[in-house]
């Protein structure tokens, strides 16, 4: 039997996923030990797990370096990889939104040269070009996107919003919700054929746990 390999996004989501896997009978004790290892193994279950930068998880899955990945919907949309999205875990719920200073709300879809700052250029471009049929200038940022409209770099932003507290504290407000976000289970397309029974078993066990009220 070959190993079934999981790629998990580093951080809280990885911790939540490991807890979930343990509850469905797929623990990885090596991950609980202090170690510099990059790949963790459960030999008995033929299971391998590695942690990756969030934006890299869909890439590892697409190219078959991992059979299964757990990552946020925002990353799946932004990276747009050729993978199967199998299950919504309901973890890390938030929203992808258009936001800005209050006086911009009425002008949002009337501007002919709207400047949009974001960490998610593909999501922003798709929303304004294909859904709103509006030409915009996308300004890619890596840091605090909320700063952009305040200092005049952009007219609005496209970013993840959880409670909205950070926006409110900086005098910004949500104009529109693009889509809801949460963690998803993704699967390599070839693995789905080659290891169909094992992967579906994992998905079904996770789905069963979620139905019991796990969050």
- Angstrom distance (rounded) from CA 30 to CA 37: 9
What average pLDDT score do residues 197-213 get? Answer: 94
Instruction: Give the E-state strand segments of 55-124 in sequence order.
Output: 68-72, 84-88, 94-100, 114-118
Q: How confident is the model at residue 1 (pLDDT cuts 50, 70, 90)?
A: confident
What average pLDDT score do residues 152-175 get? Answer: 95
- Sequence-distant (6+) residues with CB within 8 A of 206 are 20, 24, 87, 89, 185
- Cβ-contact 60, 82 below 8 angstroms: no
* pLDDT tens per residue across span 116-139: 999 999 999 999 999 888 989 999
- Cβ-contact 83, 190 below 8 angstroms: no
Nearest to 155 by CA among 143, 178, 172: 172
Nearest to 160 by CA among 180, 131, 142: 180
What average pLDDT score do residues 23-50 get? Answer: 87
What average pLDDT score do residues 59-77 get? Answer: 98
pLDDT at 153: 97
- Angstrom distance (rounded) from CA 210 to CA 87: 10
Instruction: Report yes or no on whether pTM surpasses 0.75.
Output: yes
- Alpha-helical runs (H) found in 109-195: 121-125, 147-150, 165-169, 189-194
pLDDT at 215: 62
**Which domains are assigned to the chain?**
4-92+182-211 (3.40.190.10), 94-180 (3.40.190.10)
């Amino acid at each position: 039997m070959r190993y079934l390999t999981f790629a998990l996004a580093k951080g809280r989501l990885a911790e939540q996923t490991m807890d979930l896997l343990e509850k469905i009978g797929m623990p990885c004790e090596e991950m609980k030990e202090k170690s510099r290892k990059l790949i963790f193994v459960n030999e008995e279950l033929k299971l391998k797990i590695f942690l990756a930068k969030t934006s890299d998880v869909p890439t590892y899955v697409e190219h078959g370096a991992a059979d299964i990945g757990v990552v946020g919907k925002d990353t799946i949309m932004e990276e747009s990889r050729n993978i199967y999205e199998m299950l919504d875990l309901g973890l890390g719920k938030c929203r992808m939104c258009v936001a800005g200073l209050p006086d911009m709300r009425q002008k949002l879809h009337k501007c002919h040269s709207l400047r949009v700052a974001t960490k998610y250029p593909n999501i922003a471009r798709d929303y304004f070009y294909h859904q709103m049929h509006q030409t915009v200038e996308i300004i890619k940022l890596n840091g605090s996107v909320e700063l952009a409209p305040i200092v005049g770099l952009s007219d609005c932003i496209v970013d993840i919003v959880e409670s909205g507290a950070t926006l409110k504290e900086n005098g910004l407000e949500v104009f529109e919700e693009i889509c809801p976000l949460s963690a998803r289970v993704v699967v390599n397309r070839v693995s789905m054929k080659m290891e169909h029974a094992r992967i579906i078993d994992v998905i079904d066990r996770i789905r069963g746990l979620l139905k019991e009220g796990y969050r």
